[in-house]
Amino acid sequence: MATSLADVASVFSVFLFHPPAGLLLQFSLAWLVSAGSHMHSSAALLQSYDSLYHDGVRAYFKKDWEKVVTLLEWALQTQDDVSQARLGCHSGCRLDEIARDAEPLVSDLNFFQAVLRRGECLSFCERSRLEPAARAPVSEDVQSDFNKRVPYNFLQVAYYKLKKFDKAVSAAHTFFVSNPNHIEMKMNIRSYRKIKGLSEEAFVDREAQGHWLAYDSAILCEEKNDFVGAMQHWEKCVNESLAALNQCRATCEGPYQYGEDEDYLNDLRDLYQKTAAHFLQVLSCRQGCALQVATKPGRLSAYEDFLPSLFRRLYYSAQAAGLLNQAVQAAKTLQLFYPDDKEINESLQQYLQSEGKDDERTVIAREDVQAFVQQSLEEKRLLFFGVENLGFPSFKDPDPWTPESVVPESLREAWRADQAPYGNESEGHTKEEESVFIEGGSIPLQGVVVAQSSEYLNGSNRVVLDGLLNNEECRTLLQLANIAAAAGDGYRGRRSPHTPHENFQGLTLLRAARLSLDGAINQSDIQLYLNATDRVRRLLQSYFNSPTPLYFSFSHLVCRTAITGQQEGRIDLSHPVHADNCLLDAESQECWKEPPAYIHRDLSAILYLNNDFEGGNLIFTARDGKTVTAEVSPHCGRLVAFTSGSQNPHGVRAVTSGQRCAVALWFTLDESRSDEERKEAEQLINELPEEEDSNEKQVPEPPQALGRTVRGRSETKGTRDEL
């Protein structure tokens, strides 16, 4: 298969590092001749792995399982080989090596001579290793499939059909590690565990990364108080992490990714400005590798301050194991990141002063880490320069250890704000956010009562209110959902976004307004949708004593329908446990307030429309996502409302028969995030000619089939329901 890095390096060492200065043409011809003897015949050129992947997927849909296995295994291997070949070319064509004998940089000719040489070196190298199609960039879709380990999902099925269960299991496990919320794979893995003769060893992660293996082993050793073992694994983890960092950084020199910066780049016409922009993007990508390496497969966020944290743990393990030199080296290396870390500095002082420990004075910080820190700081300086002087739009410093002196004065405030979550030992994520809401305010709607207070629901800032809609209104909204709701509207077209055992249909306000414009639904029905949601907004603004007006963020009329014949042995939820404005990580019990979560959402509410289905209760859980702390059963006119953050992880139990419909609503205190679609929908509705007989009733009648007694307004106003 692939030739190793050493082969590539040996090709270069023959000639490339000492070309006659300035003779580019001769240089390339000579390189071709010289390298020719080492090169592979064109038959050995690496193919493009995306076409292998496409062919493999095609074979999958034709159920040609042997072919699936051959092509997808080949695609995976080729992807690895191509990236190794590219890495080899990059490390073999280093600018400082190529330009070693060049004149000092006195003019742009010298500079570009070095650049041209490197460009040429890379082209020759890649041409000698990769087929033309393999040199072209891979589409984002394929890239994303490989990143998410999708080929292993196909392979798993193919191996299963071919009855190669050990291979099917490792493919399934490899996919699942990176997609831990994939319910079907979870169930497949359960079934695999029941196959006789399959040992635990079959569950291998074929893409396991060395630093995470070492990380997990180190933690295990720590748990068993085996500190010598832990220290060795931490050391391995550091080495593997540095290798992974270097590998990631070497892949950053690809094409300019426009992304959101398109306007910025289009405005640049000049050679130097454009070159500078591309170079800055390369630097920004290299910096981003710190986060990439620190993100465990299957997790959404990086471990905070990853590399320094490894030295901290290495230091404690070495100390606990009584391995002084290693402890001192770890502490000194940590000082490279945090020269003012009080605890480490004091601890080091104690060592150095204690008797008979003179040797420790000679122990120095790891040199490779020192070089890394210097290089990284230099990159940050250049990036900040680019942001300050060239308008480079996108650099977010990934490290909490950057000293302020690296950041230009004019950017410090924004940089500090960006760094803030790092400030107090990850307080931003773990600490319970202080709520701006005070529950128990007045209830401005007649017939509406508190059915379950926070106290009853074992939490804070949670409430269940009954009487928001009468039966006729529920019927109308249910009808609206069923006539108009296109499968998946508001779910980016996906029919089963949360579970494969139910079909979801959603109706957004804007779509409802458009349908009513087309005459497909009654104007009065969409008015009801608008008015009912506005009732909820007014009610919650008052009940939660909102410090500012509440603005709509998103409204969604959603029905979940159990798919008959697919309910047996179901273990999943209709809606997995989550928080609405942060990413709940049940393992670490943290909730990361970062995109793709809708971080601007402050209050969540669900207005239920029916109860003629089985299952479907809303559950609140602790942060572990498992311990159920409260359960609410839906019915017509019942509203459950709660703050959208980490205090209120929640999910929906499986709907095992029938259809469960509700209007899900989210509110924000940030006016700039208020729902533009709602405004557009309102405008559309206002343009419609008035219907003669509007069904809309401002004051809903009390619903009939409530499970509990409905209390009058005077009894509940401004108080909690005692239960």
Contact residues: Fe ion, CB under 5 A? 580
Q: Indicate the DSSP class of residue 523.
A: H
Q: How far is the CB of 596 from ligand AKG (least distance, A)?
A: 14
| Helix, coil or strand: residue 162 | coil
Residue from 183, 294, 318, 652 in contact with ligand AKG (CB under 6 A): 652
Q: Which amino acid is at 193?
A: R
Q: Among residue numbers 235 through 254, which ones bind ligand AKG (CB under 6 A)?
A: none
Establish if 662 lies at the interface with ligand AKG (CB under 6 A): yes
Residue number with the shortest CB distance to ligand AKG? 618
The enclosing H or E element of 576 equals strand 575-578
Residue 606 touches which member of ligand AKG, Fe ion, none, C-beta under 5-8 Å by kind: ligand AKG
Strand partners, 590: 585
Return the axis-axis angle of helices 367-390 and 271-293, rounded to nearest 10°.
140
Q: Output 456 or 491, the one with its CB closest to ligand AKG.
A: 491
Residue 11 site contact among ligand AKG, Fe ion, none (CB < 5 to 8 Å, cut-off depends on kind): none
Question: Given the complex with ligand AKG, which of 194 and 492 has the nearer CB atom?
Answer: 492
Residue with tokens 């030992």: 425
User: Would you call 484 helix, strand, or coil by DSSP?
Assistant: helix
The least distance separating Fe ion from the CB of residue 578, rounded to whole angstroms, comes to 6
Shortest Cβ 566–Fe ion spacing (Å) = 23
Tokens of 646: 């980490």
Of 92 and 615, the one with the shorter C-beta distance to ligand AKG is 615
Beta bridge partner(s), residue 466 = 449
Q: Kindly report whether the peptide bond that precedes residue 596 is cis, defined as omega within 30 degrees of 0.
A: yes
What are the distances in angstroms from CA 345 to CA 341, 357, 533? 6, 16, 58
Number of amino acids touching ligand AKG (CB under 6 A): 8
- Residue entry with tokens 């064509």: 93
Residues 6+ apart with CB under 8 A from 391: 264
> Minimum Å distance from CB 650 to Fe ion?
6
**Six-digit token pair at 359?**
């040797």
Catalytic residue among 286, 312, 660, 673: 660
**d(Cα 399, Cα 376) in Å, to the nearest integer?**
10
Q: Which does 618 bind (CB under 5 to 8 A by kind): Fe ion, ligand AKG, none?
A: ligand AKG
Task: Please identify, using beta-carbon distances, which residue of 411 and 664 lies nearer to ligand AKG.
Answer: 664
Question: Catalytic residue at 313?
Answer: no
Nearer to ligand AKG (CB atom), residue 396 or residue 495: 495
Q: Pick what 332 binds: ligand AKG, Fe ion, none; C-beta below 5 to 8 Å, kind-dependent.
A: none
* CB of residue 648 to Fe ion, shortest distance in Å: 9
CB within 8 A of 195, min separation 6: which ones? Answer: 165
| Closest separation in Å from C-beta 491 to ligand AKG | 10
Q: Are strands 655-668 and 551-562 parallel, antiparallel or unpaired?
A: antiparallel
Tokens 């997990």 sit on residue = 216
Partner whose binding site includes residue 652, from Fe ion, ligand AKG, none (CB under 5 to 8 Å by kind): ligand AKG
The whole-angstrom separation of Cα 715 and Cα 443 is 11
Q: How far is the CB of 450 from ligand AKG (least distance, A)?
A: 18
The answer to whether residue 575 forms part of the interface with ligand AKG (CB under 6 A) is yes
- Minimum gap (Å) between residue 662 Cβ and ligand AKG: 5
d(CA 615, CA 564): 14
Element (H, E) at 226: none
Distance separating alpha carbons of residues 472 and 466, to the nearest angstrom:
15
Looking at the DSSP assignment, which residues form a beta bridge with residue 344? none
Residue 429 contact partner, candidates ligand AKG, Fe ion, none, CB within 5 to 8 A by sort of partner: none
Residues in region 599-628 near ligand AKG by CB under 6 A: 606, 618
Q: Which residue lies nearer to ligand AKG by CB, 280 or 663?
A: 663
Contact 121, 147 (CB under 8 A): no
Smaller CB separation from ligand AKG, 513 or 640: 640
Q: Which is nearer to ligand AKG, 117 or 650 (CB)?
A: 650
User: Looking at 50, 81, 466, 580, which residue binds ligand AKG (CB under 6 A)?
Assistant: 580
Q: Identify residue 645 by its one-letter amino acid code.
A: G
- The interface partner of residue 211, options being Fe ion, ligand AKG, none and the CB cut-off 5 to 8 Å by kind, is none
Question: From the CB of residue 251, how many other CB atoms can be counted at a distance below 10 Å?
Answer: 15
Binding partner selected for residue 559 from Fe ion, ligand AKG, none, CB under the kind-specific 5 to 8 Å limit? none
CB 526 within 8 A of CB 533: no
Answer yes or no whether residue 502 interacts with ligand AKG by CB under 6 A: no
Chain residues in the site for ligand AKG (CB under 6 A): 575, 580, 606, 618, 650, 652, 662, 664
Catalytic residues: 660
